[in-house]
C-alpha cells in the first residue's frame, strides 16, 4: 500500500491545505466537478453495457456519484456564503476548471472487466483520501459528515466492482486489477510530464513574446490606429479561393 502510506505521511500537509477557507472551498468545488464528471462517465457505462445486472449497478453507482457532486457543491456554496473569498481570484470571473472523471477513461469501446477493475482501484484510492480529509476537518462538522456519508457509499462501490469483476472475469480478475493500478500510475506520470512540458512551453513562448514580438507589436498598433471603428466593407468573401485557409 505505498500510495496509502504516502497519503498518511502527507496528512500534515492536507491539514494545512484544508485549514485555509479559500482552499477548502476550492477543493470542495473541484471534488464536486470530479464526482459529477465521474458520475456521468458511469452513466455512460450503464448505457452501453450489454449486461443487465451491471447496468443496474452502474446506474446506482452513478446516482451516488452525482449525489456526492451535489453534496460537495452545496457545501462549497454554503462556505462561500459564510466565508467570502479573500480575493476575487478564487473564480476570476470564469467558471471553475472542471475535472475529468475517471482519469479521462474512454468509456465507449471499453470492456466491462477493464472498467470494473479501474473503478475498483479508483474507489479504493478515493476512499483512502476521503478518510484522511475527514480526519483533517474536525472543526467543520458539516464537511466531515459529507466525507462520512461518501465513505459509506464507497464501501458499496468497492464491493460491487470487485464482486462483479470476479463474476465476469473469474480467471483473470487479478490481472485486470493490477493492470488498472499500473494504468493509474502511468496516467499520473503522463499528467506530471504534460504539466512540466506545458510549463516549459509557456516559458519559451513567454520569452519569445518579450524578445521577438515588440517590433511587430509596434507595427500592429500603428496599423490599428489607422482602422476606423464600426462597419467595414467586405472586399469579397474569397469565393474564388475555396481551398484557401486564409
Partner 1 sequence: MKILGISAHYHDSAAALVVDGVPVSAVQEERLSRHKNDAGFPSNAIEWCLTNAGLEADDLDAVVFYERSMLKFERILTSALRTFPYSWRSFPHAIKNSLGEKVWVRGIISSYLGVPRKKILFTAHHASHAAAAFLTSPSRRAAILTADGVGEWATVTAGHGTRAPGATDITLLREIRYPHSLGMLYSTFTAYLGFAVNEDEYKVMGLAAYGRPTMVEQVRKLIRRTPDGGFALAPEYFEYETTASRSYSSRFEDLFGSPRTPFEPIDMETTEGRRFADCAASVQRVLEDTLVEMARALHDETGLPDLCLGGGVALNGVANARILAESGFQRVFVPPAPGDAGCALGAALYADRIYFKNPDRDIPDHPFWGPAVDARELAKAATEDGQTVQELDDARLVERIADDLAAGRVVGWMDGASEFGPRALGHRSILASPQSREMRDRLNRDIKRREEFRPFAPVTPLETADRYFELPSGGARLGRFMSGVFPVRPEYRSALGAITHVDGSARVQTLDQAMAPRLHALLVAFGKRTGLPVLLNTSFNVAGEPIVNRALEGYSTFRRCGIDALVAGGVVVTKAAAPPREVAS
Our CB check for partner 1 shows the closer of 111 and 201 to be 201
Length of the chain: 246
**C-alpha–C-alpha distance, residues 34 and 225, integer Å:** 46
* Per-residue cell: 164: 462483479
Identify whether the C-beta of residue 31 lies closer than 8 Å to the C-beta of residue 1.
no
List the x/- string, 6-45, binding to partner 1 by CB under 8 A. -----------------------x------x---x--xx-
In the list 27, 38, 46, 124, the residue contacting partner 1 (rule: CB under 8 A) is 46
Among 103, 164, 169, 173, binds partner 1 (CB under 8 A): 164
Cα gap 135→9, rounded to integer Å:
13
User: Any contact of residue 216 with partner 1 (CB under 8 A)?
Assistant: yes
The site for partner 1, by CB under 8 A, has a size of 70
Burial 62-76 (b: 16+ CB within 10 A, else e): bebbbbbbebbbebb
Q: Which stretch binds partner 1 (CB under 8 A): 120-128, 135-143, 176-184, 207-215?
A: 207-215
Decide: is 143 part of the binding site for partner 1 (CB under 8 A).
no
Q: Smallest distance, Å, CB 244 to partner 1?
A: 6
* Options 113, 130, 162, 173; binder of partner 1; rule CB under 8 A: 162
Residues 91-130 that bind partner 1 (CB under 8 A): 91-96, 108
DSSP designation for 89: G
Q: Angle, nearest 10°, between helix axes 11-19 and 2-9?
A: 50
* Cell numbers representing residue 28 in the block: 470542495
Nearer to partner 1, 12 or 236 (CB): 236
Judged by CB under 8 A, the stretch of 4-12, 128-136, 172-180, 211-219 that binds partner 1 is 211-219
According to CB under 8 A, which one of 2, 12, 88, 170 is a site residue for partner 1? 88
Exposed/middle/buried for residue 99 (C-beta within 10 Å: 0-12, 13-18, 19+): middle
- Cell matching residue 156: 458499496
Kindly tell me which of 6 and 244 has the beta carbon lying closer to partner 1: 244
Contact 55, 49 (CB under 8 A): yes
- Alpha carbons 161 and 157: distance in angstroms, whole number: 6
Cβ within 8 Å of residue 22, ≥6 positions away: 85, 86, 87, 90
Name the residue nearer to partner 1 (CB basis): 51 or 148: 51
Query: What does the binding site for partner 1 look like in residue numbers (CB under 8 A)?
Result: 29, 36, 40, 43-44, 46-48, 52-53, 55-57, 59-60, 62-63, 66, 73, 76-77, 80-81, 85, 88, 90-96, 108, 156, 159-160, 162-164, 167, 198, 201-202, 205-206, 209-210, 213-214, 216-217, 219-221, 224, 228-234, 237-239, 242-246
Amino acid at each position: 500500500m505505498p500510495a496509502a502510506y504516502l497519503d498518511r505521511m502527507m496528512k500534515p500537509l492536507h491539514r494545512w491545505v484544508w485549514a485555509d477557507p479559500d482552499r477548502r472551498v476550492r477543493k470542495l468545488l473541484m471534488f464536486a466537478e470530479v464526482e459529477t464528471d465521474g458520475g456521468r462517465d458511469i452513466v455512460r457505462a450503464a448505457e452501453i453495457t450489454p449486461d443487465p445486472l451491471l447496468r443496474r449497478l452502474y446506474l446506482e453507482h452513478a446516482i451516488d456519484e452525482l449525489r456526492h457532486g451535489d453534496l460537495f457543491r452545496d457545501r462549497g456554496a454554503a462556505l462561500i456564503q459564510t466565508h467570502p473569498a479573500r480575493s476575487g481570484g478564487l473564480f476570476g470571473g470564469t467558471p471553475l476548471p472542471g475535472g475529468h472523471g475517471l482519469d479521462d477513461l474512454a468509456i465507449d469501446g471499453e470492456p466491462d472487466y477493464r472498467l470494473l477493475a479501474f473503478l475498483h482501484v479508483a474507489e479504493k484510492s478515493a476512499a483512502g483520501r476521503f478518510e484522511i480529509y475527514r480526519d483533517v476537518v474536525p472543526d467543520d462538522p458539516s464537511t466531515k459528515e459529507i466525507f462520512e456519508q461518501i465513505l459509506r457509499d464507497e464501501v458499496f462501490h468497492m464491493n460491487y466492482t470487485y464482486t462483479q469483476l470476479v463474476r465476469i472475469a473469474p480467471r483473470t480478475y487479478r490481472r485486470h486489477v493490477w493492470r488498472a493500478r499500473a494504468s493509474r500510475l502511468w496516467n499520473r506520470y503522463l499528467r506530471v510530464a504534460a504539466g512540466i512540458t506545458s510549463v516549459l512551453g509557456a516559458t519559451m513562448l513567454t520569452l519569445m513574446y518579450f524578445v521577438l514580438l515588440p517590433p511587430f507589436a509596434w507595427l500592429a498598433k500603428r496599423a490599428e490606429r489607422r482602422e476606423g471603428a464600426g462597419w467595414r466593407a467586405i472586399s469579397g468573401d474569397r469565393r474564388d479561393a475555396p481551398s484557401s485557409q486564409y
